[in-house]
Amino acid sequence: MAVLVTGAAGFIGMHLCQRLMARGEAVIGIDNLNDYYSVQLKKDRLATLENDLFSFEKVDFSDHLALEKALSDKDFDRIVHLGAQAGVRYSLTHPRAYIEANVMGHLNLMEVARDRQTAHMVYASSSSVYGGNESFPFRVEDRVDQPVSLYAATKKSDELMSETYAHLYRLPMTGLRFFTVYGPWGRPDMAMWIFTKAILAGKPIPVFNHGKMQRDFTYVDDIVSGVVAVLDSPPADDGEIKAGGSTKPHALYNIGNNRSEELSHMIDVLEDAIGKKAERDLQPMQPGDVPATAADISAIQNELGFEPSTPIDIGIPKFVDWYRGYHGNRSG
């Protein structure tokens, strides 16, 4: 039976589809190919997935009628729901896009799971749910009810709705709080891409909070290893307390590199990989952003054996090599 992957043309989605097919899994991918960032990049990702094990439907999952029609003749027993409207800063100017994709879209996928009685629905949450949390590193047991962006609020809403469906319909659900994912085929709105593009072009890079930022940069291959481990381990409906505190078949895990890096150090490593110094334009903190993130991954380590293995001094050069290759015949 196949796995349904939403956001299949996205950064993590593409890598996950490749990993699933590499172990012989059939994958049904869906994506609406919106223009939040380069549609061509999304199409190029999809081109890497051409395989007898892969089928694709272009559909907007926030439209439940279109979603149901697109999936009506498809057979699958698990769902990995990675599709979403991403980005903290974009939510300041386009709030409705987040409610439609991240709240209505999540509800629609849960209804698909309920109707199909899927064996497991894994979904993407975000480290952004921790907001202004002052405990460090962030633990899945921490309270997360003070979001500082609408994006974070929608991801917290997804977790709450999932808890409800796990309670009402006993659907096995697992939410994954991703921490600053980077790597080949990454997103153009992420710092790694923005900085690389600017440094190569000899332009200044915007360094927010005057560089006093920390992020748990996580290489995409490590993230995918965590997603697959979670997919293979649906939470049991046994009344026991799961990671995140639920007694329903609903778990929450942090997935990060387990090492928070100073933004200035990340830029140093990026400069070395590119072979060129950056012109750093120091700016104040942006609305909706947080100064530091760090993942306590003890739950997923202890329960599923997840161990990230790619430090930034290995992962960043891999991204830069891919970026240069990808943009060899393109403008960046």
Q: Would you give the DSSP letter of residue 119?
A: S
d(CA 33, CA 44): 11
Report the amino acid identity of residue 20: L
Would you call 95 exposed, middle or buried from its count of C-beta atoms within 10 A (0-12, 13-18, 19+)? middle
Report the amino acid identity of residue 282: L
Count of all residues that appear for the chain in the document: 332
Task: Clarify whether 151 is annotated catalytic.
Answer: yes
d(CA 114, CA 82): 18
Which of 90, 98, 151, 253 does the annotation list as catalytic? 151
Report the amino acid identity of residue 308: P
d(CA 5, CA 20): 10
Q: What is the largest CA-CA distance in the chain?
A: 58
The answer to whether residues 39 and 33 touch, using CB atoms and an 8 Å cutoff, is: yes
Report the amino acid identity of residue 311: P
DSSP per-residue codes, 252-287 = EEEES-S--EEHHHHHHHHHHHHTS---EEE-PPPT
Cα pseudo-dihedral 268, 270, 276, 279, rounded to 10: -60
Could you give phi then psi for residue 323, rounded to 5 degrees?
Answer: -60, -45
Q: Which residues are known to be catalytic? A: 151
